[in-house]
Structure formats: C-alpha cells, structure tokens
Amino acid sequence: MALPLLLLEVGLYASCFFCGSITAASITIVQGNFGGRCMLYGLVNYNATAGLIGIQSPSSPSLCYFVTTISVMVVVVCWPVTLYWLYTLCIDGEIRRERVWMNLIIAVSGFFLFFLLITGCVVKIGRDSLCNSVIQSVPNITSCEEAQTRNWVSPIRGGRFYINLYDAGTAVWVNFFLWLIIGVLVIVQRPQDSGYGSF
C-alpha cells in the first residue's frame, strides 16, 4: 500500500508544479499587458468620446508580487522533489523515507496551505473587484468577459485579462487542495517504517 501512496504523492507534486507555473505566468501576463500595473482590486474608467477603457487606479504592485512569489515558491519546491522521487523510483530502486523528512513535508504542506488560502482569496476578491468596476464604468457590459472584446487605452492590452485572472485563481485553489491531499498522505504514511524496500 505504501508504494502506491508514494506514486500518488509524486503525481501530486508534479501537479502542484504545473498549477504554480500557471498562476505565476497568468498574473505576470496580466501585469505585462497592463503596463506592469497590478489590476487586482484595480479600478477602470471609460472615455465615452473615444470609446476606450482606461485605468483609473491600479492596486499596489505588492499584491501581484505576493501571488507570484507564493506560486514560484511552490514551483521551486515541487520541481526538485518530483525529480528526486522519479529518479529514486526509476533508477535507484531503493525507497527510503526518513521520519524527519516526512515531518518537513508536513510542515511545508501547512505553510503552503496557509499562504495559498490567502493567495486564493486575494485573486478571487481582487478579480471580482476589478470586474465590478468594469461593469459599473463601461456601458452596455454585463460581464467581465465582454470587456475583453472592447478597446482599451493604448498601450494596454485587455484582450485576455479576465481569462488569465480566472486561470490564475483556479490554479491557486487546485494547488491548495493538492497540498491538502499531500499533507494527509504523508501523515498516513508517517507511522510506517522508514523504508519500503526495493523493487
């Protein structure tokens, strides 16, 4: 039973790596398209004469940096852990898990659960705040998706801002639940012997 649990755990690490990459990339793309400004909790305005959507006030860049930093930390942790276990399973063949390392993974899992929860709330509420501003400011728009088809003040590129923010938020919450499962799996395996043997 221990080996299948370890294989599942490795798959979860790989999935967390991809989710962290998606979040970091999506937030960075939105920032880039908005001239380096963070639009989580941002406000927009509408120039009726030119028919263009503009930025009234962006939020602090630290919000986007926080989201990106947590996501990058997940990537940095999961990438070597995934490679290590793939090497161990496919080449080394000897599977050993020391209790101290399992305790460390539990601590890391708790750390990421806490900060991913905060990150998920920041992205979700920040995106909703931006969308409310868009809907209230731009005439004849009932959803944020519609604003993606409108013209924005140059050099802003708002073509996929909602999709990217939605992808970022979804990836954060998936990452949160994956780390929750990882924590449970390690706790389940911890009372067992430190070695599973070789195959």
CA dist., res. 105 & res. 17, Å (int):
15
pLDDT for residue 162? 93
How far is Cα of residue 84 from the mean position of the Cα atoms in its chain?
Answer: 23
List, for the chain, all residue ranges whose pLDDT scores fall below the cut of 70.
1-2, 92-95, 191-199
pLDDT for residue 1? 41
pLDDT for residue 94? 63
pLDDT for residue 197? 43
The CA radius of gyration of the chain, in Å to the nearest whole number, is: 21
Query: Which H or E element spans position 94?
Result: strand 94-96
| pTM, rounded to two decimals | 0.87
Six token digits for residue 103: 């305790």
